[in-house]
Amino acid sequence: MGPNPSRETSPPVTIDLYSDTQTRPTPGMRAAMAEAEVGDEQSDSDPTTRALCERVAALLGQEAGVFMPSGTMCNLVSILVQTRPGDEIVVDDQSHIYNTEAAGSAAIGGVSVRALPTPAGIFSPEAFAAAIRPPARTAPRSALVSIEQTTSFSGGSVWDLADMRAIRDIAHAHGMKAHVDGARLLNAVAATGISAKAYAEGFDSVWLDLSKGLGCPVGAVLCGSGDFVVEAWRWKYRLGGAMRQSGVIAAAGLYALDHHVGQLGTDNAHIRLIHAAIADAPGLRFDPTAGQSNILCFSVDGLGVRAADFAAACLAQGVRVRAIGTHQIRATTHLDVDRAGAVRAGAVIRAAAHAFAARAAG
Ligand SMILES: Cc1ncc(COP(=O)(O)O)c(C=O)c1O
């Protein structure tokens, strides 16, 4: 067989900062999966899945949990349980729900989305209060607010606990439900030392992703009250998310909770390292909240270059970053990026900024 042409033309990706979803299961995790005790999840009799749900519910201080194939399904099911068709939900305009869930809430739930303008993915309690619609026959009913802790597309910013609680209380005072998209909640915990339970307290629905910084191949756990989880199960089933011997993948989640939570603080530290290396590179622009967790976003607008071209220049040097829109670059650290990788990534991004700046000047 001749050489693989794609291998000849594209350089090997040595440091993958595209997303923390790019991790591969470790040998220890694979062993735990192979040895998992299993049953039928659809009839709630898979012991490993049950153990995982109980563990995450306890971590989040919630009554119950349900295993989901993805975080996207956790968000969708939370919306479906807690809204009616014609209702409105309030999110930030950079949120995963608004931008990259294929408008599932509209397509399946018949819900409209009020996306609040937020430079760093975080809106104030005042902005939220102002967005709640007074009851009127002509208006949609404001039904649910979602907070993304940490923010994803706007750079891993960490919501302030007091603001989260203020928003939760305003929502409840208006008869609304309050939801936490906790895809990276444990990165916020690592960044602040505030417990997951404290962040989740009093929210009506909250979930953790297993397939991001925790390094699992698949899965998320959605939690809330016992009643909420009964209804969430109904939607999981309707959407085709009920499984059979899911203990094989739930075992990865239990393994990650035992072995990978400490890594999240290291991932956050690696982003700070990259941030420090490129903070004064020419033409790059950062939000004031940049570098708070394991994601770093910056604009390359000042270099007069498109994000896709900037990302291609980094990839040519073996560092994969993600272009978001025309001018934003996102870099995300995870357990497959070590300190040396973070140092090299900082140097490569910095060199790319200098090269584009020189080109613009000359
Ligand atoms: C903030 C946020 N919410 C939800 C999701 C969806 O998670 P999943 O990829 O498990 O469907 C993601 C995934 O990137 C995310 O970053």
- Spatial distance between the Cα atoms of 237 and 32, rounded to a whole number of angstroms: 27
Residue nearest to atom 7 of ligand 1 (CA): 71
70 lines ligand 1 (CB under 6 A): yes
Burial of 258 (0-12, 13-18, 19+ CB in 10 A): exposed
92 CB within 6 A, ligand 1: no
Alpha carbon distance 173, 216 (integer Å): 38
Q: Answer yes or no: are the C-beta atoms of 112 and 88 closer than 8 Å.
A: yes
CA of 185 to the centre of ligand 1 (A): 11
SS3 90: strand
The strand pair at 142-148 and 177-181 is best described as parallel
Angle between helices 339-361 and 261-278 (to 10 degrees): 30
With a 6 Å cutoff on the Cβ, whether 208 touches ligand 1 is no
> Could you tell me the CA-to-CA distances from 193 to 188, 197, 206 in Å, in that order?
8, 11, 19
Could you tell me the domains of the chain? 5-23+261-361 (3.90.1150.10), 36-259 (3.40.640.10)
3 state SS for 168-219: HHHHHHCCCEEEEECCCHHHHHHHHCCCHHHHHCCCCEEEEECCCCCCCCCC
Query: Mind listing the pLDDT tens digit of every residue in the chain (362 residues)?
Result: 334 444 445 556 689 999 999 999 999 999 999 999 999 999 999 999 999 999 999 999 999 999 999 999 999 999 999 999 999 999 999 999 999 999 999 999 999 999 999 988 999 999 999 999 999 999 999 999 999 999 999 899 999 999 999 999 999 999 999 999 999 999 999 999 999 999 999 999 999 999 999 999 999 999 999 999 999 999 999 999 999 999 999 999 999 999 999 999 999 999 999 999 999 999 999 998 899 999 999 999 999 999 999 999 999 999 999 999 999 999 999 999 999 999 999 999 999 999 999 998 88
Ligand 1 atom 8, closest CA: 71
Sheet strand arrangement including 328-332: 295-299, 328-332, 322-324
Residues 126 and 301: beta-carbon distance below 8 Å: no
Q: Does the Cβ of 96 fall within 6 Å of ligand 1?
A: yes
Q: What is the rounded (10 degree) CA torsion for 105, 70, 201, 112?
A: -10
Give the pLDDT confidence score for residue 119 in this predicted structure.
Answer: 82
Whether 181 lines ligand 1, by a CB cut-off of 6 Å, is yes
Residue in the block written with tokens 């969708």: 76
Residue 181 CA, ligand 1 centroid: distance in Å: 8
pTM to 2 decimal places: 0.94
pLDDT digits 0-9 by tens, 268-297:
999 999 999 999 999 999 998 899 999 999
Q: Which residue has the tokens 């119950």?
A: 64
Per-residue pLDDT reduced to its tens digit, 212-255: 999 999 999 999 999 999 999 999 999 999 999 999 999 999 99
Phi, psi values for residue 14, rounded to 5° = -90, -35
DSSP state of 123: -
Written as six digits, the tokens of 113 are 């989305």
Question: pLDDT value at position 2?
Answer: 39
Ligand 1 centroid vs 242 CA: distance in angstroms? Answer: 19
**Can the peptide bond before residue 21 be classed as cis, meaning omega within 30 degrees of 0?**
no
User: Dihedral angle at the C-alpha atoms of 346, 348, 350, 356, nearest 10 degrees?
Assistant: -160
Q: Which residues pair with 209 in a beta bridge?
A: 220
CA 48 – ligand 1 centroid, Å: 23
Give 21 Cα–ligand 1 centroid separation in angstroms: 9
**Which atom of ligand 1 is closest in space to residue 73's alpha carbon?**
11
Model pLDDT, residue 12: 61
Q: Is the CB of 147 under 6 A from ligand 1?
A: no
Tokens 């749900």 belong to 53
For ligand 1, say whether the CB of 154 is within 6 Å of any of its atoms: no
Question: What's the rounded Cα separation, in Å, for the pair 126 and 167?
Answer: 9
Does the CB atom of residue 78 touch ligand 1 within 6 A? no
Mean pLDDT of the chain: 95
Report CA torsion sign: 68, 99, 169, 165: positive
Atom of ligand 1 nearest to the CA of 72: 11
